[in-house]
Amino acid sequence: MGSMISNSIEETVSFGREFASRLSPGDVLCLEGDLGAGKTHFVKGVASYFGVKEEQVSSPTFTLINEYHGTIPIYHFDCYRLKNEQEALEIGAEEYFYGVGISIVEWPQKIGNLLPPESVWINITHAGEHKREIKTI
CA 121, CA 134: separation in Å to the nearest integer?
A: 11
CA 22, CA 38: separation in Å to the nearest integer?
A: 20
- The mean pLDDT of 20-25, rounded to a whole number, is 95
Q: Specify whether the CB–CB gap between 70 and 51 falls below 8 A.
A: yes
Q: H or E segment at 49?
A: helix 39-49
- The total of other beta-carbon atoms located within 10 Å of residue 80's CB is 14
Q: What is the pLDDT of residue 104?
A: 97
Burial 38-69 (b: 16+ CB within 10 A, else e): bbbbbbbbbbbbbebeeeebeebeeebbbebe
pLDDT at 72 > cutoff 90: yes
**What residue ranges define each of the domains in the chain, with the CATH number in brackets?**
3-114 (3.40.50.300)
pTM greater than 0.85:
yes
pLDDT level of residue 1 (50, 70, 90 thresholds): low
pLDDT digits (tens, 9 = 90+) for 24-63: 999 999 999 988 899 999 999 999 999 999 999 988 777 8
CA 40, CA 113: separation in Å to the nearest integer?
A: 23
Q: What percent of the chain stands above pLDDT 70?
A: 99
